[in-house]
Structure 1
């Protein structure tokens, strides 16, 4: 099997596993928390609190009820992320693997999994299932897919600023085919 094909298959498997974990967490939260009071995990710090049809928008409820807009934007984002991942795979196959590029590849995979996980909720339920609640700050309830998106975005910014070579940056973040 070609090296590129193997890398693509590994990334698809990674994304699928993360999406499955997200969906399982939402299923378990719905089955165990819906209609019940919050479950304290660590008093004053973390609880699980099912938010009944709560998130019909983006973070903090912005653009609430605009499901079709979110579906379209998410599909566009997934296509763009796929292009960046294809570009990283091309660099790794043609110029050799580097730890930075491999971490960046998996980080984009995590971003895609978060987008797909919340997209599934929006299409199937009309809203996103949220259940993780920080008790120590006034912060919106969120879910595992939101964690994927947040962590991956922070990592992408840090890696682009501190670890990525300029020529690799230019090859990755272009829409035209580099390889």
Structure 2
């Protein structure tokens, strides 16, 4: 029991941040699946026009659509990443608040996309940004954003 108490003392911020990211990610993906047809798009902020669009896509691969139809591999990788984060938190010095917050973002993102892969067999992506007729960044979601912010932060 003492080990759990020690972990919680160091890990509460990681869990708190993840506890915000996961439901926000799942809620937005559910809204997209319910209200935007697959491969259809809406413009959520008219003043941004086609520069910022919500487009419903199903991603069976990883970032940029690589390694399509390798869902089992991504489930295993996500579980390993989650385990490593949870293990690493215990070894952080107590004053590493920023690192804990960033780890919480990564944990929340990993769990959010893992839930999709287990429940849907794919990850729902919907945020599309770019320059119309020139280039669009590959679609992404809240979990992806949390992971990227956690990694580069």
Runs of 5+ consecutive residues of structure 1 not aligned to the other structure: 156-179
**Which one of 111, 115, 121 corresponds to residue 110 of structure 2?**
115
Structure 1 residues 94-114: Cα deviation after superposition (integer angstroms, max 9, x where no partner): xxx2xxx10111101100111
> Equivalences for 1:1-179 in 2 at 5 Å?
5-35=8-38, 37-40=40-43, 41=45, 42-51=48-57, 54-88=58-92, 91-92=93-94, 97=95, 101-136=96-131, 137-155=135-153
The 1:113/1:46 distance shift into structure 2, 3 A limit, reads same
The 1:84/1:133 distance shift into structure 2, 3 A limit, reads same
Q: Distance in 1 between matches of 2:108 and 2:55?
A: 23
CA displacement at 1:147 relative to structure 2? 0.3
Alpha-carbon contact 2:41-2:56 (below 8 Å) kept:
yes
The 1:4/1:78 distance shift into structure 2, 3 A limit, reads closer
Q: Distance in 2 between matches of 1:8 and 1:148?
A: 18
Q: TM-score, normalised by structure 2?
A: 0.85
CA displacement at 1:34 relative to structure 2? 2.2
RMSD: 2.0
Q: Distance in 1 between matches of 2:86 and 2:118?
A: 21
